[in-house]
Amino acid sequence: MRVIGGLFSNEYDLLMAIEGLQERGFDTMTVFGPDELFREPGSNQEWQRILESHKHTAGGTISGIKVNPRPLGVDDPSARTMTDDLIGMGVSEEEASSFVNGLDQGHRLLLVHTKAGRAEEAQQVLQEQGAILSAVSRALD
C-alpha cells in the first residue's frame, strides 16, 4: 500500500484531479484544506458552479471524498500532528513538512491510498491536473 500526496493551489485543479483519479478507478482519497472548502453553496456563483458539477455537499465531501478542515496558523499544534501523521503514512519528513507548509499557505492536499503498483499512475494524474507538489510514500504493508 502507498500514499500519494498532491498539493493544489486552487479548488478547480483539486476537483479535476479527483475526477481524473475516480475515472481511473482510484476511490480511496482524503482531502485537507482551508475553511473555504466548507463554504455554503451559493456564497459565490463560480464556486457553486464548480461544486455542483462535482457533487459537493455542504456536509464535508467533494465527489464523495471526505474533506478535512485544516486550521491555519504557525503555532497551531495540529500542524505538528499532521506532519507526524504524514510521516506515519510513509511520506518522507521533508515532503510531509512541505505539504503542511503548503496547507499553512492556503493550498489543498489530496491524499490517494492505493496499491504500490498503481502509485506512479496516481502521481501522474496529480501532476497532469496541476499539483504544485506531489510525492509517493514508501511502501507500507
Q: What is the distance between the alpha carbons of residues 50 and 100, in angstroms, rounded to a whole number?
A: 25
Structure confidence at residue 29 (pLDDT): 86
pTM over 0.75: no
Using 50 as the pLDDT threshold, list the residues of the chain that sit under it.
38-64, 70-75, 78-80
Cell triple for 50: 464548480
Neighbours of 62 (CB within 10 A): 24
Structure confidence at residue 125 (pLDDT): 96
Tell me the per-residue pLDDT of 66-101, one tens digit each, with 9 for 90 and over: 555 544 334 455 444 678 778 888 889 999 889 888
Cell triple for 83: 506532519
Q: Are 68 and 32 in contact (CB under 8 A)?
A: yes
- Mean residue pLDDT across the chain: 74
Q: Measure the CA dihedral 53/60/83/7, to 10°.
A: 10
Amino acid identity of residue 69, one-letter, is P
Q: What is the distance between the alpha carbons of residues 140 and 59, in angstroms, rounded to a whole number?
A: 31
